A and B are shown apart, each in its own frame.
Chain A
Amino acid sequence: MKEQENVKQGSLKKGQNKNGEGKLVPCLLIGISVLFLLIMLVFPLVEVIYRSLKEGFEVYQNAMTASNTLSALGVTLIATVIALAVNTVFGLCASWLLTKFDFRGKNVLSTLIDIPFSISPVIAGLAFIMTFGRVGWAKPLIDWVNEVFGMDISLVFSVPGVVLATIFVTFPFVSRELIPVMQAQGSLEEEAAAMMGAKGVTIFRRVTFPHIKWALLYGMILCTARALGEFGAVYAVSKARGKTFTLPLEIDALYMAGSSDSITQAFAVSSLLVIMAVIILILKQVVEYRGKREQ
């Protein structure tokens, strides 16, 4: 009875929901969540930073400027930038296709895009070796291309392989963010623009893009985060430390070396990824906030 009165008067007290459960339940849930996050995320991350600086700043600096680290940073950045560019274009095309057109096999295509979400990255990497490696069926094709164009590209155990593996594991991110937004928008505004004489490019630039830009940016951020941290798929196709290793592989190698120095170095390099992650997290928050405000 009392609950009903509360609802009627619209005078719910803070922390009390409509069922009148009081403050206990929200407090308990907040407590559990915070505890979980502290144990699983915050403490380990703080530990990384702490360990990386334990031996003094000089050791940290040395670890950062080691040639292996710089090479790994370079490979990581190359792979991330290319994966981001490719997947942004691919994501836009795929979501445009899946939301604005009707065709046979649409559901199959939509499911195929999600494969990298469900398959283990290591398997993806191994599949690349099987396809493009020395015994792979596509090897003659690559040889032919190299011969004709006078190039020396090899797709496994090389930087192009790392890039391909990174693209593979990150390709659903952009389209998965765009599809719901584009679906909700429907195609009426595009049709209206077409009726007024606008061509495809103008329609995209003036009507579709303003609508999807925050979702696109959000998808790109998620794609970047995943590309920076990818381990499994890259591990399968990259074996040369100082040449084709990415930051996560370099960290693993340092840590596996086992000496107390190298372990400290591993933490130092890790801190680099942690810092990047924090920056991305902040960007993500900003994009989310601005996107919501504009709705």
Chain B
Amino acid sequence: MYVEMKHINKNFGDYEAAKDINFGVEQGKMVALLGPSGSGKTTILRMIAGLEQQDSGDVVIEGKVVNDIAARDRGIGFVFQNYALFRYMTVYENIAFGLRVQKAEKQKIRKRVMELISLVGLEGMEKRYPDQLSGGQRQRVAFARALAPNPQLLLLDEPFAAIDAKVRKELRSWLKEMIEKVGITSIFVTHDQEEAVEVADEIIIINEGKLEQMGTPTEIYKRPKTSFVAQFIGTSAILDDFSGFKGFEDLPKGKQAIVRPEFVEAFKSDNEKFRSLMHATETGVIKSIAFRGSYQELTLEVNGILLSTNRSLERRSVKVGEQMCVLVYRAYILDEEDTEIHKNKLLKGVDIEAL
């Protein structure tokens, strides 16, 4: 493990920012700390950096406990949320700062800075000041500045939060590409699951100072371990008792179930394609229709339960109040420790993927 957090605790007065946090990050990996705002993820990042001191526990970098090493001696690159560029310095001076502090030779500094400027694609902007740059350009400067002293670990605090939605996607793939190119171990904080899923090799989900789950994006999506993760990742309906639903009669009583929109199919009763599955459906009424751009989100009431499903705009149009046949492929059942996937037993032997 390149970076390890061992039994980390941190309180700010009554607020518990970290409760017995344990995780390890392998060298060369890009890891996301994902959680809602106020979950303590930024505090964890700042403790790795040395900008915040944990109350107890060890931060280990490259096998060395760094608890008593000051931030400036940890050799970590940090990209701040609003970039915190030195506003009285040019792009060149910003990037050169870390090298000048190390008292590197002038020519070496120049070579390294120009190398980084061309890496991040800001040639010709060396003499500009931060307020003469766009949000995306500022992020590139912040990235180059953090990399200049050749850190072995890069930490990024909400690197895309200050950028408008349109540029964000573009920058996301740019940053992922850059980090892969440089090959640096990196940890970034985000509250945006889409961002985490797209950029990270591994995701650590934090809630109320606790580590909920760590795993690859696919693992986290397919096998959420706690009810928080199941609810936080993807959109889902949480149902107190789902055992009344057709095909799920075998479910243990009194356990919460989670049904995601992609687990639900709704079709008109004259639909030919689903004819063979009619025996597994229940009848539902459309309560609302929300337009989501490339699809519609339908909310249906089935036996007093509200379920939602996404419907392609290519399909026949539907309206509120219309009766539909509703089929649920599977559901997550929440246990204290883990979640379990339950398939609709009436669909046994049916090749759902072929539909």
Contact = CB atoms under 8 A, between A and B. Distances in A.
Contacts of A196: 72, 97-98, 101, 145-146, 148-149
A207 B82 contact: no
A195 B71 CA distance: 6
A181 to B, nearest CB: 13
Interface string A183-222: 0000011011111111100100011001100000000000
A197 B102 contact: yes
B23 interface: no
Interface stretch (B73-81, B159-167, B247-255): B73-81
Contact of B98 (A197, A199, A210): A197
B274 to A, nearest CB: 56
Main secondary structure of the interface of A (DSSP, over half): helix
Contacts of B71: 191, 194-195
Contacts of A193: 86, 97, 101
Contacts of B211: none
B84 interface: yes
B51 interface: yes
Contacts of B80: 188, 191-192
A192 B84 contact: yes
Interface string B51-91: 10000000000000000001111011110101011111100
Given A197-B73, A197-B149, A191 B84 contact: yes
B53 to A, nearest CB: 13
A193 B102 CA distance: 12
A74 B235 CA distance: 78
B50 to A, nearest CB: 8
Nearest to B81: A188
A206 B97 contact: yes
Contacts of B145: 192, 196
B196 interface: no
Interface residues of A, number: 16
Contacts of B77: 195
Task: Kindly name the residue among A189, A194, A196, A198 whose own CB sees the greatest number of chain B CB atoms within 10 A.
Answer: A196
A192 B86 contact: yes
A196 B88 CA distance: 17
A41 B84 CA distance: 45
B101 A198 contact: yes
A90 B98 CA distance: 30
Nearest to A186: B84
Interface residues of B, number: 26
Task: Kindly name the residue among B75, B82, B98 whose own CB sees the greatest number of chain A CB atoms within 10 A.
Answer: B98
Task: Kindly name the residue among A195, A197, A198, A202 whose own CB sees the greatest number of chain B CB atoms within 10 A.
Answer: A195
B101 A191 contact: no
A197 B72 contact: yes
Interface in A206-265: 206-207, 210-211
A192 to B, nearest CB: 4
B88 A211 contact: yes
A202 B99 CA distance: 13
A198 to B, nearest CB: 5
Nearest to A192: B84
A195 B148 CA distance: 12
B84 A188 contact: yes
A198 B75 CA distance: 11
A188 B82 contact: yes
B78 A195 contact: yes
B84 A189 contact: yes
B205 interface: no
Interface in B99-134: 101-102
A17 to B, nearest CB: 30
A195 B72 contact: yes
A197 B150 CA distance: 12
Contacts of B148: 196
A199 B98 CA distance: 11
Task: Kindly name the residue among B75, B84, B88, B89 whose own CB sees the greatest number of chain A CB atoms within 10 A.
Answer: B84
Contacts of B21: none
A207 B102 CA distance: 16
Contacts of A195: 49, 51, 71-72, 76-78, 146
A31 to B, nearest CB: 40
The list of the 5 closest CB pairs from A to B, nearest first, reads A196-B98, A188-B84, A210-B88, A195-B78, A192-B84
Interface of B: 49, 51, 70-73, 75-78, 80, 82, 84-89, 97-98, 101-102, 145-146, 148-149
13 contacts: A192-B78, A192-B86, A194-B72, A195-B49, A195-B146, A196-B101, A196-B145, A196-B149, A197-B75, A197-B149, A202-B101, A206-B89, A211-B87
Interface of A: 188-189, 191-199, 202, 206-207, 210-211
Given A188-B82, A195-B51, 19 more contacts: A189-B87, A191-B84, A192-B78, A192-B80, A192-B85, A192-B86, A193-B86, A193-B97, A194-B70, A195-B72, A195-B78, A195-B146, A196-B72, A196-B98, A198-B101, A199-B72, A199-B101, A206-B89, A211-B88
